[in-house]
Amino acid sequence: MKLRIHDNTIRLRLNRSEVEQLKDTGLVEDAVHFGAGSALSYSLESSAGSSEPRALFCDGSLRVIVPEQMARRWASSEEVGMEAHDAQPAILIEKDFQCAHREEHDPEAFPNPLVT
């Protein structure tokens, strides 16, 4: 899962196996490790008790929580993203596509619709 923070927006990009994991378990998590045992952990969670996407930050952990039905619908469809512009911070969750401008091939990324 890729994490991007820009201004007051959090963006997560998930590859195919991570989208399946979210659909199956309701949780995808990762971390950035720094020296001296510190880390920034981040997760995407689906929750039956959530009515709208939200982000929480506590003790070095960023949790992005989305309604369970919204996550399941997104993961089971051709929809590219889920978003919450009114949230603080704003949230954008996307399926990660193959890069169109590089020779690299990421077998876990979704096929890029712009590349034939």
Three-class SS state of 23:
helix
Tens digits of residue pLDDT in 13-59: 999 999 999 999 999 999 999 989 899 999 999 999 999 999 999 99
The answer, yes or no, to whether residue 110 has pLDDT greater than 70, is no
CA–CA distance, 94 with 75 (Å, rounded to integer): 10
Q: Look at residue 114 in the predicted model and tell me its pLDDT.
A: 64
**pTM for the structure as a whole:** 0.84
**How confident is the model over 67-95, as pLDDT tens digits?**
999 999 999 999 999 999 998 999 999 99
Residue of 101 and 75 predicted with greater confidence = 75
Burial class (CB in 10 A: 0-12, 13-18, 19+), 18: buried
pLDDT of residue 25: 97
What residue type is assigned to position 65 of the chain?
I
CA geometry: angle 14, 82, 29, nearest 5 deg: 35
106 vs 6: CA distance, rounded Å:
24
Alpha helices by DSSP H, 12-64? 16-25
Predicted confidence band of residue 105 (pLDDT cuts 50, 70, 90): low
Residues 13, 98 contacting (CB under 8 angstroms): no
**pLDDT given at position 60:** 93
